[in-house]
Amino acid sequence: MLYHSLKNYQNLVSFEDAVLTGLSPDGGLYMPECIPKLEHKFIHQLSIYDIYTIAMFVIKPYIGKYIPEKFIDDIIHDTLNFPFPLKKIHDNIHVLELFHGPTLAFKDVGAKFMAGCLSFFSDKLGKSITVLVATSGDTGGAVAKGFHQKPGIEVIILYPYNGISPIQEKQITSLGDNILALEIDGDFDDCQNMVKHAFLDKELKKKYTLTSANSINVGRWLPQMFYYFIAYKKMIVEKNPSELIFSVPSGNFGNICAGMMANRMGLPIKFFIASTNSNDTIPRFLKSEKYHPISVKKTISNAMDISDPSNFSRIWHLYQKNMFQLRKKLNSYKFTDEETLSIIKMIWKKYKYMLDPHGAIGYLGLRQYLQENKNFSDPSIFLETAHPIKFLNHMPAFLQKKIVPPSQKIETFLNTKNKNKKISLSNDFNIFKTWLLDRSIK
């Protein structure tokens, strides 16, 4: 399996090079040149396989010979080492909880998987690798945790000043060692642009072996397909569905795009709903056919405060830039903070289930779709992407005290004894570049 750049289909690279470079030198995202189809029989018998076997079937064709199977198997076991409960909320609406990992958000899976791949490649090449990553909140924590103390790898995380929650900041700034936190006086899109810019910079490339750990990196993006297979496996045990509907709270559109890949591999998914907060570039695009990102608005679902989602170019490619085809598989709705808060309260009062602001938007998207498509009776799932405690300050006041702390040891992050190490930089690529060039690599 080779990967081509979305800007030039002739630029083909291996999985190893795609993971090691993150972004193609022409600035395009990498995309697998083909999408393997899994056997019909395998899909319909998913319930008899364990999740590790399923994950191996799903991911192996994308890695091929670049990592030995035994090693992939270790990475998979290391990555999927926490539960992914599927719960019924009411009627046909289910929630897939993806926040039981070490940093309480779904990005733990992609980050850990990628860290495993990168360790393998760093060791094989005998080279130290620098991971540059922009975060709207949760990527930073997941990547910091997944890569902490991995030999041969250093991680530089750029996050927006005042744009992430206190726990998220703690998760990024408290580990130290090979994890460096840069607070940028800008928003997420500014951080992401600086990272993209750095990859294309000749002087930086001379000094560093740079890669990204954003969902633009195939090593982080593709393992997110696992969620959809796991959900289907759990659903067939319960209900034997023919097709599923997924609502995915979306920011950079990596997670939903992974779902669309799972669908192309043969997983029966009827429809996707990309649920967004007020950063509604994609809902507007699907209506008007005009792609017109405007400046980022701050919301209480801050991990989705992104107005120019990188992975949308992958989705657009998957549907051959054909709006008619895309609309058959995808709709996108946006919701305000007020709507988000009121649904969190309502779901708690009625069903005693506590949504976080991101999952709440997932629920709202699903509800809107089901209201518009009343004849649909198969099970539907929204993804709950973070634990509500991570967004404590944004939760309705009367619920804050009711949040049950997760079993994971978040005290390590909340412990004030841990140093908060960060470097503040202005939103200027040249200042960032000078800083990178002047510092010595550990």
Q: Which residues bind ligand PLP (CB under 6 A)?
A: 105, 107, 138, 215, 249-255, 303-304, 358, 385-386
In angstroms, rounded to a whole number, what is the distance separating the alpha carbons of residues 6 and 168? 32
Q: Where are the beta strands (DSSP E) in 72-190?
A: 86-90, 93-97, 129-134, 153-160, 179-185
Q: Which is nearer to ligand PLP, 154 or 305 (CB)?
A: 305
Residue closest to 43 by CA, chosen among 199, 177, 233, 210: 233
Q: Which is nearer to ligand PLP, 29 or 46 (CB)?
A: 29
Q: Where are the beta strands (DSSP E) in 149-300?
A: 153-160, 179-185, 210-212, 244-249, 269-276
In angstroms, rounded to a whole number, what is the distance separating the alpha carbons of residues 147 and 145? 6
In angstroms, rounded to a whole number, what is the distance separating the alpha carbons of residues 100 and 407? 8
Is 433 one of the annotated active-site residues of the chain?
A: no
CB of 209 to ligand PLP, least distance (A): 25
CB of 337 to ligand PLP, least distance (A): 15
CB of 84 to ligand PLP, least distance (A): 15
Q: Quickly tell me which residue has 């995915």 as its tokens.
A: 248
Q: Which is nearer to ligand PLP, 121 or 312 (CB)?
A: 312
CB of 69 to ligand PLP, least distance (A): 28
**Catalytic position from the list 107, 112, 234, 334:** 107
Q: Side by side, which strands form the sheet with 129-134?
A: 210-212, 129-134, 153-160, 179-185, 423-426
Residue closest to 175 by CA, chosen among 91, 111, 267: 111
Per-residue 3-state assignment (H helix, E strand, C coil) for 116-140: HHHHHHHHHHCCCEEEEEECCCHHH
Q: Which is nearer to ligand PLP, 100 or 205 (CB)?
A: 100
CB of 186 to ligand PLP, least distance (A): 18
CB of 16 to ligand PLP, least distance (A): 23
Q: Helix, strand or coil for residue 157?
A: strand
Q: Quickly tell me which residue has 């192309």 as its tokens.
A: 264
In the complex, residue closest to ligand PLP by CB:
138
Q: Which is nearer to ligand PLP, 261 or 386 (CB)?
A: 386
256 within 8 A of 276, measured Cβ to Cβ: no
Residue closest to 344 by CA, chosen among 332, 356, 330, 333: 356
In angstroms, rounded to a whole number, what is the distance separating the alpha carbons of residues 174 and 311? 29
Look up residue 225 and give its amino acid.
Answer: M
370 within 8 A of 237, measured Cβ to Cβ: no
Q: Which is nearer to ligand PLP, 19 or 304 (CB)?
A: 304
First to last CA, the chain: 34
CB of 259 to ligand PLP, least distance (A): 10
Q: Which is nearer to ligand PLP, 358 or 367 (CB)?
A: 358
Look up residue 279 and give its amino acid.
Answer: N
Q: Which is nearer to ligand PLP, 212 or 255 (CB)?
A: 255
CB of 107 to ligand PLP, least distance (A): 5
Please calculate the CA angle 264-96-168 and round it to the nearest 5 degrees: 105
- Which helix H or strand E contains 32, and what residues bound it? strand 30-32
In angstroms, rounded to a whole number, what is the distance separating the alpha carbons of residues 27 and 34? 20
137 within 8 A of 171, measured Cβ to Cβ: no
CB of 312 to ligand PLP, least distance (A): 10
- Catalytically active residues are 107
